[in-house]
Amino acid sequence: MTSESLDNLKKAAAFRAVEFVRDGMVIGLGTGSTAKHLLAAIGEQVRAGRKVRGVPTSQETAALARESGIPLIDTEDRWEIDVAIDGADQVDPDFNLIKGGGGALLKEKIVAASAKHFIVMVDYTKQVSVLGGSFPLPIEVVPFGWGSTAREIEALTKGRVVLRNRNGVPFKTEAGHLIVDVHIDRIDRPGELETALNLIPGVVETGLFVGRTNTLIVGTPQGVHIFHVPRK
């Protein structure tokens, strides 16, 4: 399938996600290629008179939201987010996720955890039988002693840890941290791994989103499929 065809599936999933948006809602706005379609669709609703406010998960999303005319909440005090809508890099059969390919995993997880309802929208190629393998696990780490942190991550996961670079220099998150991408053949117990990784000094957050998805929207060549998963 071509990249244009996949993008159309992402767009279809995003447009179905907008159906969950109601007047007066505060919406967590995800980051990434599928989220761009979401922002455009919500922007159309705002221009048609819908009253919503957004909490962006990255500066890129904030800029796109403003371009689309979506009002944003400026304060970073305690939010009351009605629904957060975001994409994912992988989704397993239990609706656990790997996220962070775009480098916004920390803000994305904060917003997802703050939302009453978390909606994930993907194209069907993001569905996998087990997390890992074809996509590395991003982990956000503090710069100080990152090599030692990476060594502990490697010992725990038995995977290969690679410092993320952009244009030949280490990639920095908006919070000023680094990201290491961990290549693991398979993640059979994502919940246990998420907990263990977060106990390593220097780890800020992982790209494992375990037990957070309430609704999964999947764009496929046969149409858009929606799955509802009560949060445990």
Positions marked catalytic: 108
DSSP 3-state of 121:
strand
Please report the DSSP string for 187-203 in residue order. Answer: BS-HHHHHHHHHTSTTE
Contact 54, 79 (CB under 8 A): no
Helices (H), the chain: 3-17, 33-47, 59-67, 105-114, 146-157, 190-198
The total of other beta-carbon atoms located within 10 Å of residue 101's CB is 21
- Say how far apart CA 60 and CA 46 lie, in whole Å: 19
